[in-house]
Amino acid sequence: MVAGHLGTPESLIRHQLLDMTAGYLSFRCDADDFLTEYFSDICTEKCYRSNISACCSREGIITFFADVVINLLVSGPEEIPELRAVLEKENRGFKCVYLGKKGCLWRVKPVVCEMFLCDTSKNKLFSRKPGLVQEWKALKKKEKSFTWPDRPVLFDKIESYFKAAGFSSSLMYMHNSPGLLRVKKLAKMRDA
């Protein structure tokens, strides 16, 4: 439904939303560079080779509605049917339905997936290179500037945009999670 609403690559809605998300996509590139440079070896060695990965588990995924929209905005036309196809299959395994043979099927995976690092991997890297702790904290702070609704944030704006267009989804946590609604309420009281 979201892909249908976004329309063709030239559609006005698509261009407006891409403008809105430019800063976020730049943040995701920075996060990706950091994780690739410092964590890919640790994760490959610790989890993939030994097969003990707790990442990408079936029950572990949390997806915001904005994650879906942003991923579809940057996905090629051949990638979207692939995502739909896996959703139509029954998942009897222990892993996330989106985990393909070459990794995650999303072009821009959900932000919670991107910014999750297990304690073992963090301890391993940060004990060797304590200077990187600040860099990681800065990325986490930047993440919140898009996703934590104690101020107007991109993820909330995207949900509002689609709600106004008549969409409703259980993934609209900015509008239906009691915890996040409380964050918004407290922020309003703070700013009043």
Kindly state the helix (H) or strand (E) to which residue 31 belongs, with its residue range: helix 12-43
Question: Which residue, 86, 89, 96, is CA-closest to 60?
Answer: 96
Position 71 contacts ligand SF4 (CB under 6 A): no
Q: Of the candidates 113, 117, 153, 158, which one interacts with ligand SF4 according to CB under 6 A? A: 113
Q: CA 5 to CA 165: how far, in whole Å? A: 9
Minimum gap (Å) between residue 7 Cβ and ligand SF4? 25
Q: Of the candidates 2, 42, 43, 61, which one interacts with ligand SF4 according to CB under 6 A? A: 61
Where in 122-181 is the site for ligand SF4 (CB under 6 A)? Answer: none
Question: Which residue, 66, 80, 67, 65, is CA-closest to 8?
Answer: 80
Stretch that binds ligand SF4, among 22-30, 103-111, 130-138, 139-147 (CB under 6 A): 103-111
Q: Of the candidates 2, 13, 43, 104, which one interacts with ligand SF4 according to CB under 6 A? A: 104
Nearest CB to ligand SF4, comparing residues 56 and 66 = 56
Q: CA 180 to CA 173: how far, in whole Å? A: 7
Say if residues 21 and 70 touch (Cβ distance below 8 Å): yes
Position 56 contacts ligand SF4 (CB under 6 A): yes
Position 28 contacts ligand SF4 (CB under 6 A): no
Kindly state the helix (H) or strand (E) to which residue 82 belongs, with its residue range: helix 79-88
Q: Of the candidates 31, 96, 117, 153, which one interacts with ligand SF4 according to CB under 6 A? A: 96
Q: Of the candidates 6, 17, 99, 108, which one interacts with ligand SF4 according to CB under 6 A? A: 99
Q: What is the DSSP string of 115-183?
A: T---HHHHHHHHHH-TTHHHHHHHHHHHHHHHH--SS--HHHHHHHHHHHTT---TT-HHHH-HHHHHH
Applying CB under 6 A, which residues contact ligand SF4?
56, 60-61, 96, 98-99, 104, 106, 109-110, 113
